[in-house]
Homo-oligomer: A and B are copies of this chain.
């Protein structure tokens, strides 16, 4: 396949460019008879959309989700669920000046090399806007996971070198950066605003916790839960790394330190991050992703034109100085898609 579909038993296929008419997704394999409405999906769409706060892009996209098939009288029918969000605030003219240049950090150069043609307006298909369809589909998966007693929560752990010292899940949606530590959140916002004022951007680390997954879920070998989660996360443009449980710290631990020992009450530790051999241990599944600083900055940078001529460029437009706050719901959505898919595959394996 050409890469716009994800999932095996629970599958999504997305379409749409940043400055096209719309973006959307077809979700196939949805359990029939489940209550789903646009309001439920919209909750997640609103968490991803721009213009939420002082630290996100001021671009005005309402991201109103429309369900055009697969739901009848408020219930899923088991047939493909199609959702679409129209694009509104497209100022393509703002991109005409970079039509013939490659913006540093953007996929302008690689897309042109791959396709020999590109829709330069707002990054086209490479735009973060493509993730709107993922979030809508993820909300459907989230609904199914709720029925299984599974909950998924991502949050900002670190931004611009400022790391959370405490973990309070209640605080996450209460601050603009979706951090789990309210004090760190204040410092993060100040850091982002200062960088934005300076025409710069910063990155961070997002952590995700998945609870309620009983032991025994996950395909072995190539489609391990951690393997699928890793693919899902690295398929998000700004993410450059992922680690599970102790992650890279495990490289400096001894076997006697890293092994999660057990007693009659269960595991004594969770260095594995809730996954061993690609299968859930029943402990909390926990992973962290590295988010690169936003590529679009207004500071002058060296680049070349499509014709090869060197030039200096300053990316104008309305961008996020740090994408962590808005990537949180995307991380959750992709995690929901992976988990629901794994549950359904488990059901297929054991069915008879």
Contacts and interface: CB of A to CB of B under 8 A. Distances in A.
Interface string A34-65: 10000000000000000000000000000000
B245 A243 contact: no
Contact of A113 (B216, B251, B297): B216
Interface stretch (A165-173, A179-187, A225-233): A225-233
Contacts of A8: 1
A347 B2 CA distance: 11
A153 interface: no
A276 B33 contact: no
Interface string A254-268: 111111111110001
Contacts of A16: 68-69, 80, 82
Nearest to A162: B252
A255 B202 contact: yes
For the residues of A in contact with B, the DSSP-based class is mixed
25 contacts: A2-B30, A2-B219, A14-B221, A15-B81, A20-B69, A24-B82, A33-B116, A78-B117, A104-B259, A107-B278, A109-B281, A111-B279, A161-B252, A202-B255, A205-B251, A237-B278, A240-B248, A250-B293, A251-B290, A255-B293, A261-B302, A343-B351, A344-B348, A347-B348, A347-B352
A212 interface: no
A79 interface: yes
Contact of A240 (B77, B124, B247): B247
A82 B243 CA distance: 34
A124 to B, nearest CB: 7
Contacts of A189: none
Nearest to A113: B216
Give 8 nearest A-B pairs by CB, closest first: A107-B277, A241-B243, A3-B219, A113-B216, A347-B351, A201-B255, A3-B223, A231-B231
Contact of A251 (B2, B292, B350): B292
Q: How many copies does the complex hold?
A: 4
A200 interface: yes
A3 B221 contact: yes
B255 A105 contact: yes
Contacts of A325: none
Interface string A135-161: 000000000100110000000001011
A281 B260 CA distance: 40
Contact of A110 (B119, B204, B276, B295): B276
A75 interface: yes
B247 A290 contact: yes
A230 B222 contact: no
Nearest to A214: B113
A270 interface: no
A104 B13 contact: no
A5 B1 CA distance: 11
